[in-house]
């Protein structure tokens, strides 16, 4: 194998060439160009305030939307699901306590709303594991 020596091989000339005396005045030219350009500084307090006020208004409305929706949603009336859930999780209230608090008009309203077909009633009685308990309550 032939020995390779870097100094003896022909060198490829680069395609880039700097002009003569380019770096002699380079720093002076750069400093002259920097002095020519002045940056205009606008203080924050002198800027156009309409954009910042509009942004603040948008953020304020965005924060008020959930508050307004929550205010409208809350009411003093209880819905049936909430009342049923409350009563079912309080074990110290029995069905007899509820029956004692109902008056005759409430019982009549309950009776009017309940309409069961014979097939539905039979299905409930067949699938109920506490059939004896249900029969003993009727007496």
pLDDT tens, position by position, for the chain (139 residues)? 677 777 776 777 777 888 888 888 888 888 877 766 677 877 766 667 788 788 899 999 999 888 887 776 666 667 778 877 887 777 677 777 777 887 888 777 777 766 778 888 788 878 877 777 767 766 5
Task: Give the pLDDT score at 73.
Answer: 64
By the 8 A CB rule, do 87 and 93 touch? yes
By the 8 A CB rule, do 98 and 87 touch? yes
What's the structural domain count of the chain? 2
Q: With a threshold of 0.95, does the pTM exceed it?
A: no
4 located within any domain: no
- Give me the residue label for tokens 């007899």: 96
107 located within any domain: yes
Q: Which domain holds residue 117?
A: 93-138
Same domain as 134, residue 100:
yes
Same domain as 98, residue 63:
no
55 located within any domain: yes
39 located within any domain: no
Angle at 83 between CA 134 and CA 111, to 5 degrees: 45
- Give me the residue label for tokens 């209230």: 93
By the 8 A CB rule, do 117 and 108 touch? no
102 located within any domain: yes
d(CA 9, CA 73): 88
Q: Tokens for 134, please give them.
A: 């249900």
d(CA 74, CA 68): 10
12 located within any domain: no
Task: Give the pLDDT score at 60.
Answer: 92
Same domain as 98, residue 134:
yes
């Amino acid at each position: 194998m032939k020995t390779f020596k870097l100094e003896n091989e022909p060198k490829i000339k680069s395609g880039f060439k700097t002009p003569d005396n380019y770096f002699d005045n380079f720093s002076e030219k750069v400093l002259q160009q920097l002095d020519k350009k002045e940056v205009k500084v606008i203080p924050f307090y002198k800027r156009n305030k309409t954009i910042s006020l509009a942004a603040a208004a948008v953020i304020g409305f965005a924060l008020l939307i959930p508050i307004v929706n929550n205010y409208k949603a809350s009411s003093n009336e209880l819905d049936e699901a909430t009342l049923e859930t409350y009563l079912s999780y309080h074990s110290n209230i029995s069905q007899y306590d509820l029956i004692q608090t109902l008056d005759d008009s409430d019982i009549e309203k309950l009776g009017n709303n309940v309409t069961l077909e014979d097939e539905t009633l039979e299905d409930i009685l067949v699938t109920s594991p506490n059939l004896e308990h249900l029969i003993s309550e009727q007496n």
